[in-house]
Structures are given as C-alpha cells and as structure tokens.
C-alpha cells in the first residue's frame, strides 16, 4: 500500500495552471523532484509486465473520456496506482494532458522526458484524422494533419498514430472510397516510415467493418500502415468474429482498443484466445466512456478482468 500512496503524490494540485504553463512549469520545474521521490517506488510496480526478453500482449489505457481531465502527472499517478503501464493520448479535443500540435520543441521534449522517467510507456496518439472525404481540400488537410501528428508522436516518444477510414458517402462508389483511403494511407505511411512510426488504421465508422478494412489494406503497400482492432460488436456479424478476425490478422499493428470488458455482446475472451494463439505482443488499450463513480477503481477492475482473460488464454 505504501507504494500506492507514494504514487498518489504525483497527482499534484494543478488548479489554476494553464495547459501551456503545466507543460513548461509542471514538466520542467517539478519533473526532477517528482522522479527522484516517487518514480523509484512506482517503478517497482512494473512487475505485471512481461519479463525482459519475453513478449506477450499487455494491457494499457487510452485517455478518451476516463482520462480526459487528467493532466500528465495525474495520468501517470492514476495509471501507476491501477498497474496499467501503457497509455495512448487522445488528441484534438482539448484534453488535460495538453499534448497537441501547437507544442513547442521544448515542450515536446519535456513530455517525452516525463514519460521516459515514469513507469509508463507512451504508446502513441489517437487522432481523429480520416481519409474518406469526397472534398479534395478536406482530404489534403487530413493527410497533412496526420503527418504533423506523426512528427508530434515521434517528438514525445510515441510509436504511432491512430487514424480512421471512416465512412462511405452518398453518390460516391464504395470502391472509389476504398481506393482513396488506401492511397492516402500510402502517403502518410511513407512519411511515417521516415520517423519510425506506425499509422494505425482503426476499424471505425461504416467503412470500418473488418471486411472493408481488409479491402483497404489490399491497396496499401507501406509496411508502417497497420490495422487497429476496435472490439466492435459489428465485428461479429456475417460469418462470425473469428472469420472476420482472420481477414485482417496478418495486418495487425501493435495496438488495439478494448471497451467495457463486462460487455457480453462482444467475444473478448475469444479475441484474447486468437491473439495469444498468434503470439501477438501488442498493447490492448482500454477506451472507456461508461459513467462510473471512481475511474481509477474502475480501471483497476477492468485490468483485473483482462488479467483473468489472459490467464485463461495462456492455459488453453
């Protein structure tokens, strides 16, 4: 319990501090002191990770709604308490973590150091960029924004960015949209490769069913572009989840999204079984929006459910 209490010390009162001041003062002035007094104890909590040299899937967290008002010190402290050691930062919606495109080079370095000095792995950024726009100007803007997020992810120590397919549009042939998304992914994928980043195409929207994702990936030639599963109930339709999973399993990247693991309408255990069977070692990131009285305790509960599912799969 003592180490948990020490981790709580990292959740400092930041009321009245702006995002920019947090990053310049909070990350710069206090980083050394916090790391020296708190992080060694938090570091002991790394035990749930696989041992060095052993690769297996890991449980992580996407800020989304449960972490939308957690600044970086609070995020690290809460994840530390929950024994969740990977985090993906949702962008573009004024999140308290403040990691957005307008950060200066110095602020980006401070964010990178903050995570590097903590027990957490900054897995990457979850953007809302999409490549389905019929309008050429909107499509070009999405491509350029994605490139900017790729640079940001590299600057802050992440390994990739999430993007969407996202929708089919009235009056536009489905195949044209699929080709356009694939071509756009090749552009940003080539760019990402120069920065050592992944472009993570998440199964999202009505152009995000796994059959369509496979069709999109048939147009992709850049190895940095990978598929991000979204644990969606729609993935169970047609010939069933395992069939749909197999359509894209060879294209999986190193992250996926989970939602409420208590939801019996999605086959979470089967998904875990299939991932373990193929020795997938990526991050399974909880993206939660349920209204709960205590988000940290709810995160612990979700991690414990996930731990049991992983244990079941490893015994199978």
Please write the tens of the pLDDT for every residue from 149-181: 999 999 999 999 999 999 999 999 999 999 999
pTM (2 d.p.): 0.85
| Residues 312/274, Cβ–Cβ less than 8 Å | no
Q: Which domain holds residue 145?
A: 2-315
First to last CA, the chain: 33
Number of domains observed in the structure of the chain: 1
Per-residue pLDDT, 39: 38
Please report, for the domain that includes residue 277, its CATH number: 3.20.20.150
DSSP E strand boundaries for the chain: 58-62, 86-90, 121-130, 160-164, 198-202, 225-228, 255-258, 283-286
- The 10s digit of each residue's pLDDT in 261-288 is 999 999 999 999 999 999 999 999 999 9
């Amino acid at each position: 319990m003592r180490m948990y209490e020490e981790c709580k010390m990292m959740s400092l009162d930041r009321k009245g501090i702006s995002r920019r001041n947090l990053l310049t003062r909070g990350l710069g002035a206090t980083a050394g002191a916090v790391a020296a007094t708190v992080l060694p104890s938090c570091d002991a909590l790394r035990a749930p990770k696989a041992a060095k040299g052993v690769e297996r899937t890991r449980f992580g967290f996407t800020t989304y709604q449960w972490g939308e008002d957690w600044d970086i010190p609070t995020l690290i402290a809460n994840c530390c308490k929950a024994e969740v050691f990977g985090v993906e930062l949702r962008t573009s919606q004024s999140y308290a973590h403040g990691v957005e495109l307008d950060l200066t080079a110095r602020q980006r370095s401070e964010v990178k150091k903050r995570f590097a000095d903590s027990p957490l792995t900054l897995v990457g950024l979850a953007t809302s960029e999409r490549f389905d726009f019929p309008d050429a100007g909107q499509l070009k803007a999405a491509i350029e924004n994605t490139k900017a997020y790729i640079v940001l992810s590299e600057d802050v120590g992440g390994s990739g960015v999430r993007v969407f397919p996202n929708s089919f549009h009235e009056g536009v042939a489905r195949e044209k949209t699929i080709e356009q998304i694939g071509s756009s992914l090749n552009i940003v994928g080539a760019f990402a490769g120069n920065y050592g980043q992944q472009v993570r195409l998440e199964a999202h929207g009505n152009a995000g069913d796994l059959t369509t994702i496979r069709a999109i990936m048939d147009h992709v030639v850049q190895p940095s572009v990978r598929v991000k599963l979204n644990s969606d109930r729609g993935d169970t339709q047609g010939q069933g989840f395992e069939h749909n999973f197999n359509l894209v399993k060879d294209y999986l990247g190193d992250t996926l999204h989970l939602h409420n693991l208590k939801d019996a309408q999605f086959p979470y255990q089967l998904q875990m079984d299939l991932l373990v069977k193929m020795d997938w070692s990526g991050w399974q990131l909880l993206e939660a929006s349920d209204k709960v009285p205590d988000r940290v305790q709810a995160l612990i509960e979700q991690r414990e459910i996930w731990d049991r599912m992983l244990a079941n799969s490893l015994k199978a």
